[in-house]
Amino acid sequence: MQNSAVFVPHFHWDREWYEPFQVFRHRLVTALDTVLETAEANPDFRFTVDGQMAAIEDYLEMRPENRDRVVALVADGRLAIGPWLILLDEFLCSGETIVRNLQMGWAAAADLGGSMPIGYLPDMFGHVAQMPQILARAGIEHAALWRGVPGSVDGHAFRWRAPDGSEVRTEFLFDGYDNGLDVLLVPDHIRRALGEYAEMTAERWGDDPVLAMAGTDHNAPDPQLATWLRRASSDKLAITIATLDEYIREHVRDEVSALVTGELRSHVRGNILPGVLSVRLALKQRMAVAERTIDHAERMNAQWSQRDDSPFLLLAWHKIIESSAHDSVVGSGTDETADQVEARLAEATHAARAVRDAALAEPAALVPSDGYLIANPLPFPRTALAEVEVAAPPEATVLVATAADGSAHPVQLISKAPTVLSDEHMDASQLERVLRRIHRRELFGRLIDHYELTPGSLVFHLAEVPTSGPFDLLILRRQVAAAAAAHPGEWRVLTLEEARASALVPVDVPASGLASFRVEPSDRTAAQSTTFAPATATARALSNGLVEVRIAADGTLDVAGADGTVLHGVGRLIDGGDRGDSYNYAPPAQDVLVSQPTEVTVELLENGPLRSRMRVTRVYAWPAALSSERDVRSSQTVPTPVETLVEVRAGEPFVRVSTSFLNQCADHRLRFHVPLPEPAAVSASAGQFAVTERGLTAEGGWGEYPIPTFPASSFVSAGAAHVLLDHATEYELVGDGSELAITLLRAIGSISVNIHPLRDEPAASEIPAPGAQDLGVRIENRFAVVPSATGWQGANAVALAEDFRNDVLVARGTAPAEGHLPPDATGVQVDGADILVSSIRRVADDDRGAGTEVRLVAMSDTGSTVRVTGAFTEATTVDLLGRPLSATPVTDGLELALGPWEIRTVVVR
Q: How far is CA 340 from CA 62, 306, 413, in A?
A: 20, 34, 41
- At residue 530, the pLDDT reads 53
Confidence class of residue 398 from pLDDT cuts 50, 70 and 90? confident
What is the average per-residue pLDDT within 738-752?
Answer: 98
Say whether pLDDT at 9 is over 90. yes
Tell me the C-alpha distance between 175 and 153, whole Å: 13
Nearest to 838 by CA among 791, 897, 880: 880
**Beta bridge pairs of residue 48:** 10, 80
**In sequence order, what are the residues at sequence separation of 6 or more whose Cβ sits closer than 8 angstroms to the Cβ of residue 713?**
91, 94, 685, 686, 687, 688, 725, 727, 728
| H or E stretch covering 24 | helix 21-41
DSSP 485-536: HHS-SEEEEEEEEPPEEEEEEEEEE-TT-EEEEEEEEE-HHHHT--SSPPPE
- At residue 254, the pLDDT reads 75
For residue 251, the 8-state DSSP code is I
Confidence class of residue 500 from pLDDT cuts 50, 70 and 90? confident
pLDDT averaged over every residue in the chain = 95
- At residue 134, the pLDDT reads 98
Are 325 and 87 a contacting pair, CB within 8 Å? Answer: yes
Of 232-246, 430-444, 662-676, which one has max mean pLDDT? 662-676
- At residue 526, the pLDDT reads 47
Tell me the C-alpha distance between 259 and 662, whole Å: 48
Numbers of helices and strands, H then E, in the chain: 17, 50
Give the tens place of pLDDT for each residue, 585-643: 999 999 999 999 999 999 999 999 999 999 999 999 999 999 988 899 999 999 999 99
φ, ψ of residue 720 to 5 degrees: the values are -95, 5
| H or E stretch covering 157 | strand 157-161
Tell me the C-alpha distance between 783 and 610, whole Å: 19
Give the tens place of pLDDT for each residue, 277-320: 999 999 999 999 999 999 999 999 999 999 999 999 999 999 99
Tell me the C-alpha distance between 581 and 592, whole Å: 18
- At residue 768, the pLDDT reads 96
Give the tens place of pLDDT for each residue, 15-44: 999 999 999 999 999 999 999 999 999 999
Is 142 buried (19+), middle (13-18) or exposed (0-12) by CB count in 10 A?
buried
Percent of the chain at pLDDT > 70 equals 99
Tell me the C-alpha distance between 569 and 552, whole Å: 8
Tell me the C-alpha distance between 299 and 305, whole Å: 10
Are 170 and 729 a contacting pair, CB within 8 Å? Answer: no
> pTM here?
0.95
- At residue 1, the pLDDT reads 52
Amino acid at 484: A
- At residue 527, the pLDDT reads 44
Tell me the C-alpha distance between 751 and 194, whole Å: 34
- At residue 722, the pLDDT reads 98
As a dihedral over the C-alpha atoms of residue 852, residue 853, residue 858, residue 859, rounded to 10 degrees, the angle is -100
Give the strand pairing for 47-48 and 79-80. Answer: parallel
3-state secondary structure at position 424 = strand
3-state secondary structure at position 826 = coil
Confidence class of residue 391 from pLDDT cuts 50, 70 and 90? confident
Say whether pLDDT at 418 is over 90. no
Confidence class of residue 525 from pLDDT cuts 50, 70 and 90? low
Other beta carbons within 10 Å of 605: 15
Give the tens place of pLDDT for each residue, 811-868: 999 999 889 999 999 999 999 999 999 999 999 987 788 999 999 999 999 999 999 9
Say whether pLDDT at 528 is over 80. no
Nearest to 248 by CA among 6, 588, 503: 6
- At residue 499, the pLDDT reads 86
Q: Angle, nearest 10°, between helix axes 225-232 and 190-200?
A: 70
Percent of the chain at pLDDT > 90 equals 91
**Beta bridge pairs of residue 461:** 450, 496
**In sequence order, what are the residues at sequence separation of 6 or more whose Cβ sits closer than 8 angstroms to the Cβ of residue 189?**
none
Confidence class of residue 464 from pLDDT cuts 50, 70 and 90? confident
Terminal Cα-to-Cα distance of the chain (whole angstroms): 59
Give the strand pairing for 500-509 and 382-391. Answer: antiparallel
Tell me the C-alpha distance between 417 and 531, whole Å: 29
- At residue 529, the pLDDT reads 45
Are 739 and 716 a contacting pair, CB within 8 Å? Answer: no
Tell me the C-alpha distance between 116 and 119, whole Å: 8
